[in-house]
Amino acid sequence: FDLLATTDLLSEGIHFNLSWTSFYDLGVKAVAANVSDIAAMGGTPTALLIALSLPPSTPAGRVDLFYRGVLDAARPFSARLAGGDTTASLPDQGVVVCVTALGEIERGRALTRSGAEPGDLIFVSGTLGDAAGGLELLTHGTRFTPGRYRTEPVKEKPERSLVRKHLHPVPRVALGRALAQGRLASAAIDVSDGLLADLGHIAEESGAAAVVETAKLPVSPALRGVPRLGAKVESLAAAGGEDYELLFTARPEHAGKIERLARKCRVSVAPIGKVGPRRSGTPRVQAVDARGRTIRFEDLGYEHFRTDVRTGR
């Protein structure tokens, strides 16, 4: 087997806001985000290492809630909490969480970002924009506590569904495993920074270009069902981020098998575009409408070291 490893650092005020994120939710999301990276490599998560930095005034009960969220999010994927560290931070630094997820995959089977080739189709799992829609609702006063972490779909009001997607994402481990085992995907990444931004990583590392048809982006009834988000649906789907769906490329002849495998994994997949050759002077990623006209989005997704698109800080 090959060892897989990934690390994420989450800082209060940048990656999460404790005004609407409980310590339980924080534990869930910290684990889910890292397990999603393992899923994007086609691997099986095996262990977690967690470092937690907290203001000295943090009640012990909140720490217990955090680790309850960690364990609840790790359990469906059989990942164990193997260790970590807890330290006190300066009072004005807030909460910082660092998670390292370990995983494994059969030797030579790991999915990477660098294998996309001209002619490949671009696929994405699930629906896009839900998590960003949930964040939009939270920042404008909506409050909802999802309760215990669940990986199966929940029937609930659209607003609650979107908030749940933001606070309790579900990584696509089974689909990633199936794609890797079947050698069906040429490149893969999870949607964390936003569809266009993450597709840009695949295009850059593959030395290729990508065209996305926005009319084909899968959007949930919940996202379309919230009137206040109506004008933003397309931009939330294209650039919202934190959906933790799998974004991958594959040869056209594999499309039928991919759809059948996805059904077995109880997740939808949608072809949303195509990989092409990289040409000088052309963008790595281009979004077009149903008529092939270029669409320019003001925001392409999350970038570190700029004003944060999630908090404005």
- The CA distance from 170 to 192, in Å, is 12
**Does one domain contain both 140 and 273?**
yes
**Does one domain contain both 150 and 187?**
yes
**Does one domain contain both 83 and 128?**
no
CATH of the domain at 58: 3.30.1330.10
Residue 307 within a domain = no
**Does one domain contain both 139 and 79?**
no
**Does one domain contain both 261 and 144?**
yes
- Number of domains the chain contains: 2
pLDDT in tens, 66-115: 999 999 999 999 999 999 999 999 878 899 999 999 999 999 999 999 99
Domain boundary among 73, 105, 137: 105
- Structural domain including 250 reads 121-295
User: Which of 179, 223, 218, 173 shows the shortest CA–CA distance to 195?
Assistant: 218
**Does one domain contain both 167 and 247?**
yes
**Does one domain contain both 100 and 132?**
no
Q: How much of the chain, in percent, has pLDDT values that exceed 70?
A: 95
- The CA distance from 94 to 13, in Å, is 8
- The CA distance from 94 to 40, in Å, is 30
306, pLDDT greater than 70: no
Question: 161-196 burial, b for 16+ CB within 10 Å, e for fewer?
Answer: bbbbbbbbbbbbbbbbbbbbeeebbbbbbbbbbbbb
CATH of the domain at 211: 3.90.650.10
User: Which of 70, 99, 80 shows the shortest CA–CA distance to 9?
Assistant: 99
Torsion of CA 276, 281, 286, 290, to 10 degrees: -90
- The CA distance from 11 to 276, in Å, is 37
Task: State the chain's mean pLDDT as an integer.
Answer: 94
pLDDT in tens, 129-142: 999 999 999 999 99
**Does one domain contain both 154 and 259?**
yes
**Does one domain contain both 246 and 145?**
yes
Q: Which of 15-24, 115-124, 282-291 has the lowest mean pLDDT?
A: 282-291
pTM of this structure: 0.93
- The CA distance from 144 to 98, in Å, is 25
